């Protein structure tokens, strides 16, 4: 009995920590993931555990969750970010927005053990 309770608790704990990798992505979102990994990750992910990021973390909360705003930012850029309208077509820009719409916030948080 004790073993089955422990096994159930571990199973539920593992399910609670679902990440972006656990989400079933459609073809458009998979294209968006590839584009984000290849073109956006250099600024929007941590290169090492101890370093910061140049740009903000990207997630479904980016631009208030508004995909139209995300598409506009990806296409036109911001004062600190280049636009990709000459590199990506409209379908690719929409794919980036679709992928970010399912990406959970906090995926770049690093919890280091106490010293």
Q: Is residue 62 part of a domain?
A: yes
Task: Note the Cα 31 to chain centre separation in Å.
Answer: 13
**Other Cβ atoms within 10 Å of 95 Cβ, number:** 25
Pair of tokens at residue 8: 């159930």
Would you give per-residue pLDDT tens digits along the chain (115 residues)?
A: 444 434 433 333 333 344 445 679 999 999 999 999 999 988 988 777 777 778 888 999 999 999 999 999 999 999 999 999 999 999 999 999 999 999 988 766 555 556 6
Instruction: Count Cα neighbours of 31 within 13 Å in the Cβ-side half-sphere.
Output: 14
Nearest to 40, CA basis, from 7, 14, 16, 62 = 62
Q: Into how many domains does the chain fold?
A: 1
| Domain with 64 in it | 20-100
Any bridge partners for residue 81, and if so which?
78
Q: Identify the CATH number of the domain in which residue 54 sits.
A: 1.10.760.10
């Amino acid at each position: 009995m004790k073993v089955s309770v422990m096994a159930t608790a571990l199973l539920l704990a593992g399910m609670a920590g679902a990440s972006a990798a656990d989400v079933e992505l459609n073809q458009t979102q998979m294209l968006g993931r590839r584009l984000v990994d290849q073109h956006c990750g250099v600024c929007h992910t941590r290169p090492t555990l101890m370093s910061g990021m140049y740009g903000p973390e990207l997630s479904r909360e980016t631009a208030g969750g508004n995909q139209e705003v995300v598409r506009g930012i990806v296409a036109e850029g911001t004062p600190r970010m280049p636009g990709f309208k000459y590199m990506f077509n409209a379908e690719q820009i929409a794919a980036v927005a679709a992928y970010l719409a399912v990406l959970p916030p906090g995926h770049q948080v690093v919890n280091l053990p106490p010293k």
